[in-house]
Amino acid sequence: MAINREPQVFLFLSKILGRNIVGATGETLGRVYDLTAEFVEPYPIVTGIIFSSAQKKNPVVLPWNDVVDMDATISVSVTSIQDLSALHLREGEVLLKDALLDKQVVDTDGAKIRRVNDLQFLKTRHGLHLVHVDVGFRGLIRRIGLIKVFDAILQGLFDYKLPNHLIPWKFTQPLSSPDLLQLNVAQNRLSQIHPADLADILEELDIKQRSAVFQALDVETAAEALEETDPKIQVSLINDLNSEKASDIIEEMSLSEAADLIGDLPKAKAEGILKEMEKDIADDVKELMAHPEQEAGGMMTTSYLSFQPQTTVREALDEFRREAADVDLVYYVYVTDEEERLLGVISLRDLILAGADQKLGDIMDDRVVSVKLDAKDDTIAEQFAKYAVTAIPVVDENEKMHGTIIFKNLLEIVAPQLGK
């Protein structure tokens, strides 16, 4: 049995703008200036046509339900412009040309900033839906009305047709205003981008856009992106936030990154944030800030897991499952005595493979490589290279464990262009 499928009709905004609007009596009412749309999922839907007319000083809005046909002209069911009201946007409604055309958007699939040259709509019996953003050169040529000439020249000379470069709307995050960012927070599109790529995007934006984008992120995404961002930009972004919101974000960062950032902030701002942070996290950050950045104490994180030798593998794994999400280091667990002196180390692999009732003291490696609190970056780098470990514990002169250095933290000191 044949299936009656609705024909797909695609229209570009550049081809809609400037079209004449013809009323029910055949009279030309005006010319299209813009479209209004409601940002709903999965695709924004056009709600009205904004047009100008010699009969009214200000633009008027024609509800989309009054559109009868869209050919060379736009036929509508109204008979007089006097039946239409002045432009007034409802909540969640935007002007598409004004909000998107020639503006920057984030291509969340390609993790790049793009310039919008045109918009593509899909016309269905239910309405007109925004489905693609055109970021290609073809869209620019189409807008200036030379696409047929351009195609003929390329076809005749090179047997080539310039392709469209369309981004599906679901991979598009507008940046032109805080309102548009807020409209898309629910979709959480920016959180789908890798933190390192999101950091690159933030660094490309101007100060105003960067702040707006950052403040639209959820706390966890903001913290992940901040860790990957240039320190000067970190300071700028946090300075734009009140202490309460800044503390929420910094608490989600690794302790070493948080300490570095707070150490770079103005004193009054840093003190305000530390007061808003949870006391145990703030105390850990203060401890790290007390050590020079180039020494082990300044590079380490105090967020790691340690157990006493009599702890069983089962008990350690249960604790690991409970705490791993909030721990910076998950490659190793350390074995310490009652006074927190370092006794040994166990890799996560060995912990998983061990018998559930085995004691950690029986499976630990007591040939543990460590560095002192005041060890310099070159010494630490030599230890990483010599022993091929991914983290090195930091101890004092009494072998009491104070933290551990993750290789990435060292890299940020000795090769900052690679560490971020």
* CATH code given to domain 306-419: 3.10.580.10
> Which residue type is seen at 252?
E
CATH 1.25.60.10 boundaries in the chain: 194-290
Q: 69 is written with which tokens?
A: 């046909």
Residue tagged 């262009």 (tokens): 417
The pLDDT assigned to 178 comes to: 65
Q: What is the pLDDT along the chain (420 residues), one digit of tens a residue?
A: 444 566 678 999 999 998 998 888 888 888 899 999 998 888 999 999 998 776 666 788 889 998 888 888 888 888 888 777 777 778 778 899 998 999 999 998 888 999 999 999 998 888 899 999 999 998 888 888 887 887 788 777 787 788 889 999 989 888 876 667 766 544 467 888 899 999 999 999 988 889 988 988 889 999 999 999 998 999 999 999 999 999 999 999 988 889 889 999 999 999 999 999 999 999 989 988 888 888 888 888 888 899 999 999 999 999 988 888 778 777 899 999 999 999 999 999 999 999 999 999 999 999 999 999 999 988 999 999 899 888 999 999 999 999 999 888 787 766 555 455
The residue type found at 35 is: L
CATH 3.10.580.10 residue ranges of the chain are 306-419
Instruction: Tell me the CATH number for domain 194-290.
Output: 1.25.60.10
Q: With respect to CATH, is domain 9-97 assigned 2.20.25.90?
A: no
DSSP assignment of 56-69 equals EEEEEEEEGGGEEE
Ranges in the chain annotated CATH 2.30.30.240: 9-97
Answer whether 335's CB lies under 8 Å from 343's CB.
yes
Cα 23 from Cα 66, distance rounded (Å): 10
Using DSSP's 3-state secondary structure scheme, residue 168 falls into strand
